[in-house]
């Protein structure tokens, strides 16, 4: 199981959702996936419109406070329509454009303790600030590169406004 939350997010019928309950699709336009610039870097991540401001702002603070996002390795990503690794019927939050992986080669799936222990409380606080769950906090298989939206679309919009991110000129820019 990729997360400790109780939402199922399985592939059923015509309506697809990732396990965090957000709409998912192979067609990025159908779920309003847009590019979002990560301030302080040359990187853009493709995320759902309502999740993107939170994920991009989180990534900018991660870059400034935790560790630089290494622009030369191309190991930072977001939207990708796929199942959770190791499953055949559970859509990843990447499928809804509500998850990002940062510095994936430094923090491989299944490996714990890849961050300096002194930085872990800050990672957790930043994730909470932006309504995210960190894969390093999963109860089962750790995924320390992974950060996913853990609030509803409505809650994401409210949090975006509360944090002053809804006027960001980089959000959703091509």
Residue 91 near residue 17 (C-beta atoms within 8 A): yes
End-to-end alpha carbon distance in the chain: 34
24/82 Cα distance (integer angstroms): 10
The CATH class given to the 28-162 domain equals alpha beta
Residues 6+ apart with CB under 8 A from 104: 75, 76, 77, 145
pLDDT tens string 60-117: 999 999 999 977 788 999 999 999 988 899 999 999 999 999 999 999 999 999 999 9
53/61 Cα distance (integer angstroms): 12
Domain parsing of the chain, residue ranges: 28-162
Directed axis angle between helix 52-61 and helix 153-162, to 10°?
A: 50
pLDDT tens string 130-172: 999 999 999 999 999 999 999 999 999 999 999 999 865 545 5
Judge whether residue 10 has pLDDT over 90. Answer: no
Question: How is 101-129 classified by DSSP, letter by letter?
Answer: E-STTTS-TT----S-GGGHHHHHHHHHH
pLDDT at 168: 57
Based on DSSP, count helices (H) and strands (E) in the chain, helices before strands.
3, 5
Q: Quickly count: other Cβ atoms within 10 Å of residue 118's Cβ.
A: 7
User: Collapsing DSSP states into helix, strand and coil, what is residue 137?
Assistant: helix
pLDDT tens string 17-63: 999 999 999 999 999 999 999 999 999 999 999 999 999 999 999 99
């Amino acid at each position: 199981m990729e997360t400790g939350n109780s939402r199922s997010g399985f592939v059923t019928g015509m309506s697809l959702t990732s396990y965090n309950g957000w709409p998912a699709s192979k067609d990025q336009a159908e779920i309003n996936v847009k590019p979002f610039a990560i301030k302080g870097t040359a990187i853009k991540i493709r995320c759902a419109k309502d999740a993107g401001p939170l994920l991009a702002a989180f990534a900018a603070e991660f870059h400034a406070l935790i560790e630089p996002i290494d622009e030369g390795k191309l190991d930072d990503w977001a939207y990708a329509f796929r199942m959770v690794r190791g499953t055949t019927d559970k859509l990843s939050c990447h499928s809804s454009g509500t998850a990002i992986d940062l510095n994936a080669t430094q923090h491989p799936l299944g490996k714990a303790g890849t961050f300096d222990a002194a930085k872990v409380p800050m990672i957790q606080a930043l994730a909470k600030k932006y309504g995210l769950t960190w894969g390093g906090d999963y109860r089962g298989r750790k995924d320390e590169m992974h950060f996913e939206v853990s609030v509803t679309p409505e809650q994401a919009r409210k949090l975006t406004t509360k944090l002053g991110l809804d006027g960001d000129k980089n959000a959703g820019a091509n």
